[in-house]
């Protein structure tokens, strides 16, 4: 029953739900219906509007069809018109051609009549102008006209007359030009030069003019060379007279190019300069060679080069040389002359290049043609004897400069001297002066390859000849000699008494050692400065370097930094020498004194110890004496390095002797104080921080200065007060064990 009831109830619920749903649906439908009814008015008006539009659309369609047919008509008629215009155009060009032919014919007639008269009157300009007009007439057109015409013979006659006249004029002009050249009649030379291009003889004209100019250049060069040879020794230009002669040759040629280029450009058109320069270059080559031959002979170049080559071979085969060496000083001026000659040649090439390129810019538009001409310019320069001679000059220069550098540096080294109160000796200043001079001179050749070669050589000389000397001096070692000043003082006293006050051999060796060490240090600065200044100067001298050339230069310059590496090694070697012979033997006994002192103090003993001269006071006093010996004689950097090594030695030794001693609370306290004052003293002597070198020692003192074992936790672990320990846990335990008052078990119990 209850089951039925519940069933009934759920059914009732369902029906209720269904009813609700239907009610909702009904409501929505009502709403939709309302909306539609609302829109009805609007839709009705739309339909009415459309019905009104219908007739208008029909009209539009008609009109559009009309428009299409009109456009078709127009296009047809315009087609017809353009056809007519085309035929009109053709007709007009025919007329034009006809007029051209007629005017050609008239000109032909006039020219053929005028040309003979002009020739007879010696009015070559006028004659050439006629021929020029004739040549400018389209010859094939002329032929066609001839076949079209009835009066054939008349025209042919005119053509023949003009052709004859042309060849006649060509012969005459050539002849007259030569005549003018022979008489040195400048006005006529110019006159006939201008006629050549009118007769279509551009190349002949340029060739004729340049051949003439060659003779002029040759004559001047001949005269200049003669006067160079006869220049007296006393003349102040005597030492560079051949460079001067070469300069005159180049300047002369440049002037010739400069004065004639406008003439050629005006009458022959732009783009023809290379042709002229090609011819002139031949004379330049010849004259340059003559100057060089004379120079080689007078300056005895081959002999000098031969001696230098022999010398280098001798030294490399290590047999003693009997050859007279050439004093590098004697080569100085000659080397200067060569660089000047080389540079002038370089400048001349740059001049030609500039001229031809700018002529090309105006005259030749076609890029392919341009590349072709540029290529032939490049070949002209590359294959010229002048280039060849230039390379030879550079070769001579490099050989002589290399010898000059080597010998001068060798001289600087052998004449090395130390001024008292100077930290370095003369060889450093002298060597770098020479090297810089040579590199600068190489820059003045204007050749990057030359500069690079000299920089390479400089690296070799510095690394081998210069560094080797420094290294050898340091290898002699630093004699330990007297152990303290008192001893030294006593010896000095006896020396004075015996009347010999000169420094002893030991003293000299010491000075030599320290000076060599200082030399190495100051050389590193010289190398850096050299690199900077050289790079700047090269950038000024060769502003147009491309990336590749710059890379080349930088690579060579980086060779100089390997010299610095070398020098640093030398310094390190020297400092180690000092460590072994000057620092260790003195410091060890001073520090070892520590073991002879009682470190298990009572209160009374402590005050007694502090009242007297403590260990650290004595040590500092001794160190002070030692450092004072080196402070002024070493460069700052070397002195710093010296103190660094000294500090390492002192701290390491002190650590050792501490480990051999045994302390009580007060002993630890004293040690901590002493370590602090030692660190304080050394910090004050130098410019860098010694904290790091003292780290272990300070920590050892801290451990020994503890009140009790457990206090160690204040410094150990992860908390804020903890130190960064340089000591291992086992080291800490060992050090704690040095405290006689610390119990072994307690130390063992420490959790580290």
Partner 1 sequence: MDDYKFLFKVVLVGNAGVGKTCLVRRFTQGLFPPGQGATIGVDFMIKTVDVDNEKVKLQIWDTAGQERFRSITQSYYRSAHALILVYDISCQPTFDCLPDWLREIEEYASSKVLRVLVGNKIDREDREIPTHVGEEFAERHNMYFLETSAKEAENVEKLFMQIAEDLMKVSRFLCDN
Given the rule CB under 8 A, which residues bind partner 1? 316, 382, 388, 391-392, 394-395, 398-399, 402, 447, 449-450, 452-454, 456-457, 459-460, 548, 551-552, 555, 559, 562
| Structural tokens at position 84 | 């007519």
What residues pair up with 739 in beta bridges, in sequence order? Answer: 663
Minimum distance of partner 1 from residue 393's CB (angstroms):
10
CA-based nearest residue to 450, from 378, 402, 384: 402
DSSP assignment letter at 592: H
Minimum distance of partner 1 from residue 529's CB (angstroms):
22
Residue keyed to tokens 């190349």: 203
Packed helices 152-183 and 202-229: angle between N→C axes, nearest 10 degrees:
0
Residue keyed to tokens 């030359």: 450
Instruction: Give Cα separations from 681 to 614, 632, 651, 673, 678 (angstroms).
Output: 15, 18, 13, 12, 5
Q: Judge contact between 370 and 364, C-beta under 8 A.
A: yes
- Determine the Cα–Cα distance for residues 588 and 610; give it in Å rounded to an integer: 23
Minimum distance of partner 1 from residue 399's CB (angstroms):
6
| Structural tokens at position 359 | 């002529």
Q: What ranges in 317-419 are assigned the alpha helix state H?
A: 328-363, 367-383, 385-414
Minimum distance of partner 1 from residue 649's CB (angstroms):
27
Minimum distance of partner 1 from residue 514's CB (angstroms):
31
Nearer to partner 1, 573 or 713 (CB): 573
What residues pair up with 663 in beta bridges, in sequence order? Answer: 739
Nearer to partner 1, 258 or 572 (CB): 572
Minimum distance of partner 1 from residue 595's CB (angstroms):
39
CA-based nearest residue to 256, from 205, 218, 200: 218
Q: Judge contact between 243 and 344, C-beta under 8 A.
A: yes
Minimum distance of partner 1 from residue 576's CB (angstroms):
19
Minimum distance of partner 1 from residue 456's CB (angstroms):
4
- Determine the Cα–Cα distance for residues 216 and 284; give it in Å rounded to an integer: 12
Nearer to partner 1, 198 or 394 (CB): 394
Minimum distance of partner 1 from residue 402's CB (angstroms):
7
Minimum distance of partner 1 from residue 373's CB (angstroms):
18
- Determine the Cα–Cα distance for residues 405 and 419; give it in Å rounded to an integer: 24
What residues pair up with 335 in beta bridges, in sequence order? Answer: none
Nearer to partner 1, 207 or 289 (CB): 289
Nearer to partner 1, 308 or 578 (CB): 308
Nearer to partner 1, 156 or 464 (CB): 464
Minimum distance of partner 1 from residue 407's CB (angstroms):
16
Nearer to partner 1, 562 or 728 (CB): 562
CA-based nearest residue to 624, from 635, 634, 616, 614: 616
Instruction: Give Cα separations from 445 to 324, 343, 407 (angstroms).
Output: 29, 5, 21
Contacts for 28 with CB less than 8 Å, ≥ 6 apart: none
Nearer to partner 1, 563 or 634 (CB): 563
- Determine the Cα–Cα distance for residues 157 and 140; give it in Å rounded to an integer: 16
Tell me the DSSP string of 34-55.
HHHHHHHHHHHHHHHHHHHHHH
Nearer to partner 1, 236 or 382 (CB): 382
- For the chain, first and last CA: distance in Å? 86
DSSP assignment letter at 739: B
Nearer to partner 1, 128 or 459 (CB): 459
Nearer to partner 1, 459 or 587 (CB): 459
CA-based nearest residue to 118, from 106, 128, 107, 108: 128
Nearer to partner 1, 173 or 398 (CB): 398
Minimum distance of partner 1 from residue 685's CB (angstroms):
36
């Amino acid at each position: 029953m209850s089951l039925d009831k519940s069933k009934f109830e759920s059914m009732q619920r369902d029906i209720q739900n269904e009813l609700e749903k239907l009610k909702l649906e009904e409501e929505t439908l009502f709403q939709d219906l309302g909306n539609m009814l609302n829109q009805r008015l609007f839709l009705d008006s739309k339909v009415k509007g459309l019905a009104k539009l219908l007739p208008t659309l029909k009209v539009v369609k008609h009109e559009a069809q009309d428009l299409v047919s009109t456009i078709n008509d127009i296009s047809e008629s315009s087609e017809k018109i353009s056809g007519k215009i085309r035929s009109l155009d053709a007709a007009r060009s025919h007329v034009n051609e006809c007029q051209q032919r007629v005017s050609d014919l008239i000109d032909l007639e006039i020219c053929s009549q005028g040309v003979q008269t002009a020739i007879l009157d010696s009015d070559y300009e006028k004659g050439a102008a006629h021929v020029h007009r004739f040549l400018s007439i389209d010859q094939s057109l002329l032929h066609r006209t001839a076949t079209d015409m009835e009066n054939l013979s008349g025209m042919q006659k005119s053509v023949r007359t003009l052709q004859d006249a042309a060849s006649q004029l060509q012969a005459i002009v050539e002849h007259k030009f030569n005549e003018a050249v022979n008489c040195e009649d400048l006005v006529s030379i110019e006159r006939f030069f201008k006629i050549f291009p009118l007769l279509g003889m551009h190349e002949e004209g340029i060739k004729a003019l340049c051949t003439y100019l060659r003779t002029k250049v040759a004559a001047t060069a001949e005269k200049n060379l003669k006067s160079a040879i006869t220049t007296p020794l006393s003349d102040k230009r005597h030492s560079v007279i051949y460079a001067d002669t070469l300069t005159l040759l180049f300047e002369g040629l440049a002037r010739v190019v400069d004065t004639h280029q406008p003439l050629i450009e005006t009458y022959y058109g732009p783009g023809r300069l290379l042709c002229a320069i090609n011819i002139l270059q031949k004379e330049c080559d010849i004259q340059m060679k003559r100057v060089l031959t004379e120079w080689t002979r007078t300056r005895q170049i081959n002999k000098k080069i031969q001696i230098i080559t022999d010398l280098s071979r001798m030294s490399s085969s290590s047999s003693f040389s009997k050859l007279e060496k050439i004093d590098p000083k004697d080569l100085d001026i000659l080397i200067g002359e060569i660089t000047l000659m080389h540079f002038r040649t370089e400048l001349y090439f740059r001049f030609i290049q500039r001229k031809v390129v700018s002529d090309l810019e105006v005259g030749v538009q076609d890029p392919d043609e341009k590349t072709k001409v540029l290529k032939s310019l490049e070949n002209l320069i590359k294959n010229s004897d002048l280039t060849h001679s230039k390379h030879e000059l550079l070769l001579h220069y490099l050989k002589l400069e290399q010898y000059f550098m080597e010998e001068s540096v060798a001289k600087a080294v052998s004449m090395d001297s130390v001024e008292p109160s100077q930290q370095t000796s003369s060889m450093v200043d002298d060597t770098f002066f020479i090297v810089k001079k040579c590199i600068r001179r190489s820059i003045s050749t204007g050749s990057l390859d030359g500069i690079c070669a000299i920089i390479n050589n400089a690296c070799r000389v510095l690394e081998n000849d210069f560094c080797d000397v420094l290294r050898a001096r340091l290898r002699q070692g630093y004699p330990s000699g007297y152990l303290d000043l008192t001893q030294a003082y006593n010896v000095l006293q006896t020396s004075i008494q015996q009347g010999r006050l000169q420094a002893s051999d030991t003293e000299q060796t010491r000075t030599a050692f320290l000076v060599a060490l200082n030399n190495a240090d100051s050389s590193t600065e010289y190398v850096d400065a050299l690199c900077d200044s050289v790079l700047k100067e090269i950038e000024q001298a060769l502003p147009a370097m491309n990336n590749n050339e710059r890379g080349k230069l930088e690579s060579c310059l980086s060779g100089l930094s390997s010299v610095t590496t070398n020098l640093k090694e030398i310094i390190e070697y020297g400092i180690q020498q000092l460590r072994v012979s000057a620092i260790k033997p003195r410091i060890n006994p001073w520090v070892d004194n520590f073991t002879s002192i009682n470190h298990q103090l009572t209160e009374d003993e402590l005050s007694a110890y502090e009242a007297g001269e403590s260990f650290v006071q004595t040590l500092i006093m001794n160190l002070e004496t030692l450092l004072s010996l080196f402070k002024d004689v070493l460069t700052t950097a070397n002195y710093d390095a010296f103190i660094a090594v000294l500090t390492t030695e002192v701290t390491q030794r002190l650590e050792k002797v501490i480990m051999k001693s045994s302390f009580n609370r007060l002993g630890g306290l004293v040690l901590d104080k002493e370590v602090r004052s030692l660190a304080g003293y050394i910090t004050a002597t130098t410019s860098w921080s010694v904290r790091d070198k003292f780290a272990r020692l300070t920590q050892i003192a801290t451990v020994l200065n503890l009140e009790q074992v457990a206090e160690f936790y204040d410094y150990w672990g992860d908390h804020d007060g903890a130190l960064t320990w340089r000591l291992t846990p086992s080291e800490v335990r060992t050090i704690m064990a040095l405290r006689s008052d610390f119990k072994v078990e307690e130390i063992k119990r420490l959790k580290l």
